[in-house]
Amino acid sequence: MTQHSVTAKTLRKAPLATRSDLGTEAVHDIAAALAALLADVFTLYLKTKNFHWHMSGPYFRDYHLLLDEHGDQIFAMTDVIAERARKLGGTTLRSIGHIARLQRLQDNDADYVTPDDMLAELREDNMQLAASLRQLHTLTSEHNDHATTSLIENWIDETERRVWFLFEMTRQAR
């Protein structure tokens, strides 16, 4: 057996370990927080698509298109979050069950939800996501993880925009 084949064989059996200069504690804390964030983002994505698919009423087209746009934006976060955890040397979600164990946002399996209630629920979920993002921003800043902190700042802005749109769409005339 050659030295190369021994090394390759050993590496295939080695645990996932990407090198990072952030330190073991930082990698552990940030990767765990990113996994919880990813679980929430997948939950929000699926709920947004659920409401997109089940929208009805006189504003169907506008709401349907808005939720499709929101879903695309939310889904675009998923790969970036997971890959960021891996770049740091951590691991990430592995299954739907893993998402269910970590998610902080609630599912909605109701047979019927009014359009106003859909938009209000998504507004609240996006507000909760923004709060989670701010907490993660504090953590990544404390560990000098500038790259993750920068990503989070953009996600906060995108999330606040979704909150704004959903708020304006559900505001009652006075």
> What pLDDT, in 10s, does the model give residues 28-45?
999 999 999 999 999 999
pLDDT tens-place string over residues 103-140:
999 999 999 999 999 999 999 999 999 999 999 999 99
Q: Which CATH superfamily is domain 21-170 in?
A: Ferritin, core subunit, four-helix bundle (1.20.1260.10)
**Contact status, residue 157 vs residue 126, Cβ threshold 8 Å:** no
Average pLDDT, rounded, for the chain:
91
pLDDT in tens, 62-82: 999 999 999 999 999 999 999
Give me the percent of the chain exceeding a pLDDT of 70: 89
pTM: 0.87
Q: Retrieve residue 143's tokens.
A: 């560990």
- 96 near 107, Cβ under 8 Å? no
Confidence of residue 6 (pLDDT cuts 50, 70, 90): low
- Cα dist. 59→17, 56, 63, 115 in Å? 50, 7, 6, 9
Q: Give the Cα separation of 29 and 81 in Å (integer).
A: 14
Let me know: does 80 contact 151? Beta carbons within 8 Å: yes
Written as one string, the DSSP assignment of 83-114 is HHHHHHT-----SHHHHHHH--SPP---S---
